[in-house]
Amino acid sequence: MDEYLLRTMMFVPGNNPGMIRDAGIYGSDAVMFDLEDSVAVDQKDAARFLVREALATLEYDVPLLVVRINDPRTAWGKADLEAIVPLGRAAIRLPKTETAEDVRYCAQIIEEIEKASGLAAGTTKMMAAVESAEGVLNAREIACASPRLMGIALGAEDYVTNLKTTRSPEGTELMFGRSMILHAARAAGIAAIDTVYSDVDNEEGLRAETELIHQLGFDGKSVINPRQISVIHEVFTPSEKEVQKALAVMDAIREANAKGSGVISLNGKMIDKPVVERAKRALRLAAAMGTYPEEELG
């Protein structure tokens, strides 16, 4: 799961040529070209063509490219998959996922297109967006539905509408959904991505919400404006104290290995696997922000 850092996934409307062209310059960990909700019905075909041509011809300095398709049970969704999958460049984000069967249905279409295109089976990864009460209650089954799945995300706007409520600054109404998504992701060994923060001018609110989801354990957050990226990355960056502690853990491991000892300790305390995993992730996050040399990660 941790092949990619996914602190930020920036939404880019599939019908906006300027944003599509510039999508790679803002420093997000992933860019998601949207062919679904942000594209009007009469622009679906044009957006699909635009995104396909961009993926086929432009170079993006972004670790992960994603395309949010329309429902694959519709003609639009099938056409989206037929246009994007043969390129072998982008993961597919499945919208409004409610059951494991939704994932398997899409995965089967992807497999058929990969085979027809001469791509190796499993080339195309998937993400599932959960946006309803049914989807939240089925989150674990969804997260475990296909080996193609690399992440599961919460789509809050449709979710709170389905709950017959609205979003609050505190996010109380999202806590159950967030917890279900997070636990499902961890059980499946995939990434958990939080929903967008829609008030792009409220940096304080964005920071507070990001601190909350970071503490919960999410891998990152979707963004709708490039200005949100640096705030989220700052929240996910380990403090100097955390980095020094992680370095001490790694030094203790190297010392134990040099002695041929299977017992690793630091300041008189045993170091177990969870401590090591947290140390490695802290250093990787620090490296992503340039506060720790990436070449030393090993």
Long-range contacts of 108-117 (CB under 8 A, 24+ apart): 109/72, 109/78, 109/81, 110/81, 110/85, 110/148, 113/81, 113/82, 113/85, 113/86, 114/85, 116/86, 117/85, 117/86, 117/88
Determine the pLDDT at residue 281. Answer: 81
Tell me what the pLDDT averaged over the chain comes to: 92
Beta carbons of 213 and 221 less than 8 angstroms apart: yes
Q: In the predicted model, is pLDDT for residue 269 greater than 80?
A: no
Least trusted range by pLDDT, from 45-49, 92-96, 287-291, 294-298: 294-298
pLDDT band at 1 (very low <50, low <70, confident <90, very high): very low
Tokens for 66? 């994603």
Task: Output 1 or 247, whichever has higher pLDDT.
Answer: 247
- Please, how many CA atoms are within 13 Å of residue 228, restricted to the half-sphere of its CB? 26
Cα distances from 69 to residues 34, 72, 180, 213, 271, in angstroms, run: 7, 7, 24, 26, 44
Question: Where are the alpha helices (H) located in 41-99, listed in sequence order?
Answer: 44-57, 75-84
Q: pLDDT tens across 149-172, in order?
A: 999 999 999 999 999 999 999 999
pTM across the whole model: 0.88
| Phi-psi map region of 189: left, alpha, beta (phi>0 left; psi -120 to 50 alpha) | left
Domain definitions of the chain by residue range: 8-236, 240-296
Q: pLDDT tens across 248-261, in order?
A: 877 777 776 777 66
Closest to 39 in 3D by CA, of 67, 6, 81, 66: 67
Quick one: CATH architecture of 8-236?
Answer: Alpha-Beta Barrel (3.20)
Beta carbons of 33 and 245 less than 8 angstroms apart: no
Determine the pLDDT at residue 4. Answer: 79
Question: Where are the alpha helices (H) located in 138-238, listed in sequence order?
Answer: 139-143, 156-162, 175-188, 203-216, 227-236
For the residues 106-125, what does the mean pLDDT come to?
97
pLDDT band at 296 (very low <50, low <70, confident <90, very high): low
Q: In the predicted model, is pLDDT for residue 292 greater than 90?
A: no
State the angle between helix axes of 175-188 and 203-216 in degrees (0 to 180), rounded to the nearest 10: 50
pLDDT band at 265 (very low <50, low <70, confident <90, very high): low
Determine the pLDDT at residue 2. Answer: 47
Q: pLDDT tens across 66-93, in order?
A: 999 999 999 999 999 999 999 999 999 9
